[in-house]
Structure 1
Amino acid sequence: MTHHVLVVDDDPHIRDLLSFALGKAGMRVSEAEDGEAAFAAVERAVPDLMILDINMPRLDGLDLCRRLRGSGGALAHLPILFLSSRDDAVDRIVGIEIGGDDYVVKPFSPREVVARVGAILKRGVPAPPPLPASVLRQGRLRLDGDAWEARVDDTPVATTATEFQLLALLVSLPSKVFSRDAIIDRLHGPGFAMTDRTIDSHIRNLRAKFARAGLDDLVETRAGVGYRIGKCG
């Protein structure tokens, strides 16, 4: 299957560069020059992944991501790879916290972007848990792997694809403490370039979302070791 990638950047040179690299990798590429144009494009046809620049006119990348994640349906789960400048460390962290799946820093290697896009697309649905059922439970938490749905009791909690997979990993082995490197390896494969801070941002984002649904003990932190699922009571 040919994947469709939407490249969103106000710099036409970057759009051309990425379109060429992704096209050579066998992907179908469309382009948008700003956030408003991108939102209109995904409403017409939802791509498999969006490459999204953070700093743009007419709706920047962070605000576009917030709009998508709050829209429900397929757009809420659209994988997003952020592009950011070297001096935008805060924006990169915020981008992950509001639902980005990964980021690449400018200036970048087109091969790195293609590799990261491929890694995100290969995830597809969450990895099957080591249980006969597709539903995972921990206390009041319920994860439905077929529907990509997380619930606290009867209350649905919207998660990104990466957040859902991370949570499913922790719930599938409730007694195990996962190091950040182990989480990255399980989600993306060994050698995938991602910082510990990215994992911390995903965890912080999950805690905030589930706390709003009344679940304050979603994930436990073991200092100097990593994370494991909480009692979710």
Structure 2
Amino acid sequence: MNQQLLMIEDDARLAHMVCEYLGQSGYTVAHAGDGQSGLTALQNKPPHLVILDLMLPDMDGLEVCRRIRALPGALAATPVLMLTAKGDPMDRIIGLEMGADDYLPKPFEPRELLARIRAVLRRHVEGAQPVASSVLRFGSLEIDRDARVVSVSGQPCELTSYQFDLLVALAERAGRVLTRDQIMEAVRGRELDAFDRSIDVHMGRIRAAIEMDAKDPKRILTVRGVGYVFARQQD
């Protein structure tokens, strides 16, 4: 199958070289020169993988990656390989925390880029699992997205509609650290408070409903200075 890639890169010369090289390797590569046009292209024709430059003229690659991870459905899971001219290891750490699947510093060998693309796509395919039902299960916790019911060990949990949406947003992205902005974007369409602390209040109430001990949570964990993560392994 011919796999579609999207390269978001403002260096037209580099983008042309990469697109030509990857085209010879069997990929079809679309190119966007800035973050906003890249996000538009991604939604109009979803690619199998995004090659994303960190330094863009309208917004940085971290912001583009954050917006991709806040998109609905399968778009949010689009693999992202981030490119950067920066050598600071902290940039790599932040990029991975924001949801990038891999990270390649410039300058790079085209063959290494190709190898990393293949590795990321292989991991993505191996990790993909068909959705068997509307129910998300994590140990004794069950979240029925269609019925909008949450239960622990068969006992229903009392959550408001908004809290249910917040819980689903986290659970569907289990294992991924989400900022408060990402969480709010994931439930966009609802009337949201503008203050970060409103999210914290709701998370406290969700924990009280689904955790064995809300003061020592095992399901919804706080990542200090960043946001929250829904733990994959529970019970």
Normalised by the length of structure 2, the TM-score is 0.61
Indicate the structure (1 or 2) with the bigger Cα radius of gyration. Answer: 2
Q: 1:159 to 1:54 in 2, by over 3 A?
A: farther
Match of 2:106 in 1: 106
Q: Secondary structure at the match of 1:75?
A: helix
Residue identity in the other structure for 1:217: K
Gapped runs of 5+ residues in structure 1?
Answer: 129-134, 143-150, 168-201, 220-227
Contact 1:54 1:91 in 2 (8 A): no
Corresponding position: 1:21 with 2:21: yes
The secondary structure found in structure 2 opposite 1:57 is coil
Gaps of 5+ in 2: 130-135, 144-149, 153-163, 184-199, 212-216, 221-230
The offset of 1:49, in angstroms, is: 0.5
- Per-residue CA deviation, residues 44-83 of structure 1 (Å, 9 max, x unaligned), is 1111100000111112211111112112122211110000
Offset at residue 95 of structure 1 (A)? 1.3
Number of residue pairs the alignment of both structures matches: 173
Residues 95-125 of structure 1 deviation map (CA, whole Å, 9 limit, x = unaligned): 1111111111111111111111111112315
1:173 aligns to what? none
The equivalent of 1:51 in structure 2 is: 51
**Cα-Cα RMSD:** 3.5
- Tell me what 1:217 maps to: 218
- Where does residue 140 of structure 1 map in the other structure? 141
Matching residue of 1:9: 9
Q: CA deviation at 1:157?
A: 3.8
Matched AA of 2:96:
I
Using the alignment, how far apart are the partners of 1:111 and 1:18 within structure 2?
10
Deviations, residues 23-61 of structure 1 (Å, cap 9, x unaligned): 121001110111011011112111110000011111221
Amino acid at match of 1:6: L
Deviations 1:84-104 (A, max 9, x none): 124242222111111111111
Superposition map of 1:1-233 within 5 A: 1-122=1-122, 123-126=124-127, 137-140=138-141, 155-158=167-170, 205=177, 214=207, 216-218=217-219, 231-232=234-235
Structure 1 residues 116 and 19 mapped into 2: Cα distance closer, same or farther (>3 Å)?
same
Q: Is the 8 A contact 2:34 2:57 kept in 1?
A: yes
* Aligned mates of 2:151, 2:51 — CA distance in 1: 31
Partner Cα distance (1:29, 1:230) in 2: 37
TM-score (norm 1): 0.61
- Displacement of 1:12 in angstroms is 1.2
Whichever residue aligns with residue 27 of structure 1, its letter is: Y
Quick check: 2:51–2:80 contact (8 Å CA) kept in 1? yes
Alignment deviations for residues 182-232 of structure 1 (CA, whole Å, 9 cap, x no partner): xxxxxxxxxxxxxxxxxxxx6xx38x98x956363259xxxxxxxx97544
Counterparts of 2:84 and 2:140 in 1: how far apart (Å)?
39
Cα offset, 1:136, TM superposition: 6.2
Letter in 1 for 2:76: A
Q: CA 1:91 to 1:21, structure 2 compared with 1: closer, same or farther past 3 Å? A: same
Paired with 1:77 and 1:29, the residues of 2 have a C-alpha distance of 19
Change (3 A) 1:159 1:23: farther
